[in-house]
C-alpha cells in the first residue's frame, strides 16, 4: 500500500477536510498494523490473539458446509434460530434463564461492542472501564471523545474499592472483561464480583460484560458471570437486569468465521437489532448455519476440552521459560485461563522501544500502552501463549529474556554514569 502522505499530495480532493469531525478521532488498530510484520514465517509471534492453527476443526467445518449447501437447507436462508436456542441454553443455569429472544447474533463480538456503544453513548459521556482494558473497545469508543473513568487492577481483577466514587460521577456505561482478561489474563475474583454487583445497586448504570475467554479455563473453576450474579441479586430468573453480555466463537472455534453474540434484556435487543439492520442487515446466515452444524452433538464441548489441554500446556511452558530466562527486575501475570499474560518491566523501560529490537531478533509482542488509558502502561507488554508451538515458545522466551537483560543492564550502566 502507498504511503498516506505521498497519496495526499497527488489527490485532487483533500479528503481530510471532508471527513466528519468524529472521523478525525478514528485511527486504524495498532494491533492490525503490527500484525502485518509478524505474519512472516520466520517471526515468532506472541502478538495476536490467535488460536493454535493446527487445532482448527477443518474437517468438521468442511462436512458442515457440505450439509448446509444442500438446497433444502439453504433455501430460504432465514436467521438461524437453532443457533440462538443453542446459545441461550448454554448461558442458562439454575439461577438464570436466557431465552433465544434475548440473543442477537453479531459479526464477531467486536461488532457487539460497536453496536452497544452506538445505542448508549453520546459524545463526551463518562464510561467506567478497567485500566488496562481490551484495546478493541478503546478503538470503538474513540470517536465519541469520552471521559474515561479508569479503575486500576491487580492480580484479582478490578480494584473495586475505587468504584463508589466513580459511580457518583454519573457514568453512561461500565465495561468489564472479568474473566481471563485481555490483556492481562487476570480474573475478577468471586468476592469482588459480588461486591461489584452490590455497589451498583443504587446506580442505574448499564454494565457490559465482555466474556470471550471464560471457556478457556486451565486452573481452578470458572467464576459465575456478572450477568448471573446480577439476576440473582435482583431476585429474578430472567435476563432482565443491568448486564449486557457478549461472547464469540472466535476463541473456541475460529476467528475468521466472524460470529459472536450478545445476550441482553429485550428492550436492548430491540434497539440493537435496529442499529444492526442499518449496519449490515444481519450476520451471514450461511455461516450461522455452518456453525450450528459444527457445534451440535457435543462437538463444541469436546473441542473446547482439546483447546484447554493444549493451551494449558503452552501457558505452563511459557511461564516456566519466563522464570528461567527473564531478569528478576521483570514480573508478569499468572493467568488461570484465556490466551494472554502481561509483562511488567521496570518503569524506566519502554515496551515500544523494546519491540523495535525484538523485531530485529524476529520475535513479536504487543506493547501495553494501547490497552491503557491516561498515557500509562509504557513499561508493559502482552504475550499470547496459544498460537506458537512449545519449542517456539521456549525459543521466543529465550530471545526476549536476553533482550530484557540487555535493556536492564544498559539502563543500569547509564544510571551509574
Site residues (CB under 6 A) for ligand PLP?
Answer: 49, 108-110, 134, 136, 177, 182, 210, 212, 248, 250, 255, 260
Of the pair 210, 223, the CB lying nearest ligand PLP is at: 210
Q: Give the length of the chain.
A: 417
Among residues 233, 246, 274, 279, the alpha carbon closest in space to that of 87 is found at 246
CB of 255 to ligand PLP, least distance (A): 5
**Which residue spans within 222-259 are E strands per DSSP?**
243-248
Nearer to ligand PLP, 116 or 321 (CB): 116
Alpha-carbon Rg for the chain in angstroms: 22
The smaller minimum CB distance to ligand PLP, of residues 209 and 228, is found at 209
CB of 113 to ligand PLP, least distance (A): 6
Q: Are 100 and 92 spatial neighbours (Cβ–Cβ below 8 Å)?
A: no
| Cβ closest to ligand PLP, residue 47 vs residue 318 | 47
CA atoms 150, 343, 210, 280: torsion sign = positive
Instruction: Determine the Cα–Cα distance for residues 318 and 341; give it in Å rounded to an integer.
Output: 10
Distance, in Å, from the CA atom of 403 to the CA atom of 410, rounded to the nearest integer, reads 11
Q: Among positive and negative, which fits the CA dihedral 321, 326, 328, 333?
A: negative
DSSP run (H or E) holding 290: helix 285-295
Q: How far is the CB of 401 from ligand PLP (least distance, A)?
A: 26
Q: Are 80 and 292 contacting, i.e. CB atoms less than 8 angstroms apart? A: yes
- Sequence-ordered list of residues with C-beta below 8 angstroms from that of 399, at least 6 positions apart, any chain: 44, 358, 361, 362, 363
**Distance (Å, whole) CA 334 – CA 315:** 9
For residues 225 and 250, which CB has a smaller minimum distance to ligand PLP in the complex?
Answer: 250
Closest distance between ligand PLP and the C-beta of residue 190, in Å?
20
3-state secondary structure at position 355: helix
Nearer residue to ligand PLP within complex by CB, 307 or 330: 307
Q: Name which of 136 and 171 has its Cβ closer to ligand PLP.
A: 136
Whose cell is 520475535? That residue is 363
Largest CA distance in the chain: 78
Give 136 or 401: the residue with its C-beta nearer to ligand PLP: 136
CA gap 289, 82 in Å, rounded: 8
Nearest distance from residue 232's CB to ligand PLP, in Å? 24
207 vs 95: CA distance, rounded Å: 19
Nearer to ligand PLP, 260 or 335 (CB): 260
Kindly state the smallest distance separating residue 254's Cβ from ligand PLP, in Å. Answer: 10
Residues 6+ apart with CB under 8 A from 242: 200, 204, 205, 206, 207, 230
Q: Is 235 exposed, middle or buried (0-12, 13-18, 19+ CB in 10 A)?
A: exposed
Q: How far is the CB of 263 from ligand PLP (least distance, A)?
A: 14
Sheet with 380-384, strands from edge to edge, namely 331-332, 340-344, 380-384, 366-367
**Please, what is the minimum distance in Å from the beta carbon of residue 261 to ligand PLP?**
9
Instruction: Give the nearest residue (CB) to ligand PLP.
Output: 108
Q: Whole-number minimum distance, CB 146 to ligand PLP, in Å?
A: 18
Q: Rounded to the nearest whole angstrom, what is the least distance from the CB of residue 387 to ligand PLP in the complex?
A: 12
CB of 112 to ligand PLP, least distance (A): 8
Residue placing its CB nearer to ligand PLP in the complex, 102 or 182:
182
Q: Is 374 left (phi over 0), alpha (psi -120 to 50) or beta?
A: left
Pairing mode of beta strands 366-367, 363-364: unpaired
Residue (98 or 208) nearer to ligand PLP, CB: 208
Amino acid at each position: 500500500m502507498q504511503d498516506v502522505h505521498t497519496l495526499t499530495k497527488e489527490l485532487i480532493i483533500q479528503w481530510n477536510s471532508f471527513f466528519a469531525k468524529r472521523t478525525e478521532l478514528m485511527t486504524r488498530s495498532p494491533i492490525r498494523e503490527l500484525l502485518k510484520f509478524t505474519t512472516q514465517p520466520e517471526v515468532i509471534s506472541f502478538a495476536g490473539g490467535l488460536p493454535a492453527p493446527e487445532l482448527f476443526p477443518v474437517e468438521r467445518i468442511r462436512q458442515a458446509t457440505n450439509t448446509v449447501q444442500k438446497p433444502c437447507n439453504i433455501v430460504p436462508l432465514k436467521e438461524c434460530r437453532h443457533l440462538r436456542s443453542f446459545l441461550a441454553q448454554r448461558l442458562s443455569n439454575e439461577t438464570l434463564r436466557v431465552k433465544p429472544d434475548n440473543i442477537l447474533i453479531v459479526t464477531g463480538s467486536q461488532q457487539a461492542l460497536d453496536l452497544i456503544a452506538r445505542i448508549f453513548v453520546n459524545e463526551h459521556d463518562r464510561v467506567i472501564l478497567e485500566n488496562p482494558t481490551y484495546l478493541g473497545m478503546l478503538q470503538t469508543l474513540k470517536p465519541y471523545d469520552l471521559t474515561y473513568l479508569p479503575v486500576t487492577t491487580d492480580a484479582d481483577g478490578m480494584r473495586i474499592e475505587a468504584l463508589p466514587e466513580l459511580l457518583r460521577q454519573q457514568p453512561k456505561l461500565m465495561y468489564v472483561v472479568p474473566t481471563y482478561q485481555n490483556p492481562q489474563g487476570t480474573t475478577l475474583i468471586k468476592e469482588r464480583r459480588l461486591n461489584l454487583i452490590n455497589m451498583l445497586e443504587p446506580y442505574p448504570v448499564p454494565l457490559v460484560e465482555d466474556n470471550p475467554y471464560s471457556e478457556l479455563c486451565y486452573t481452578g473453576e470458572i467464576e459465575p458471570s456478572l450477568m448471573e450474579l446480577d439476576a440473582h441479586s435482583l431476585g429474578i430468573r430472567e435476563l432482565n437486569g443491568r448486564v449486557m453480555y457478549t461472547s464469540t466463537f472466535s476463541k473456541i472455534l475460529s476467528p475468521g468465521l466472524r460470529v459472536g453474540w450478545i445476550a441482553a434484556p429485550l428492550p436492548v435487543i430491540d434497539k440493537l437489532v435496529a442499529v444492526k439492520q442499518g449496519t449490515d442487515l444481519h450476520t451471514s446466515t450461511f455461516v450461522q448455519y455452518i456453525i450450528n452444524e459444527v457445534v451440535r452433538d457435543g462437538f463444541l464441548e469436546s473441542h473446547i476440552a482439546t483447546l484447554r489441554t493444549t493451551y494449558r500446556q503452552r501457558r505452563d511452558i511459557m511461564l516456566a521459560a519466563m522464570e528461567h530466562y527473564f531478569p528478576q527486575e521483570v514480573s508478569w501475570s499468572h493467568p488461570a485461563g484465556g490466551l494472554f499474560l502481561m509483562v511488567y518491566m521496570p518503569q524506566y523501560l519502554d515496551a515500544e522501544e523494546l519491540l523495535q529490537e525484538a523485531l530485529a531478533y524476529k520475535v513479536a509482542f504487543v506493547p501495553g500502552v494501547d490497552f491503557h488509558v491516561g498515557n500509562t502502561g509504557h513499561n508493559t507488554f502482552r504475550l499470547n501463549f496459544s498460537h506458537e508451538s512449545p519449542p517456539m515458545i521456549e525459543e521466543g522466551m529465550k530471545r526476549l529474556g536476553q533482550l530484557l537483560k540487555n535493556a536492564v543492564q544498559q539502563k543500569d550502566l547509564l544510571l551509574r554514569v
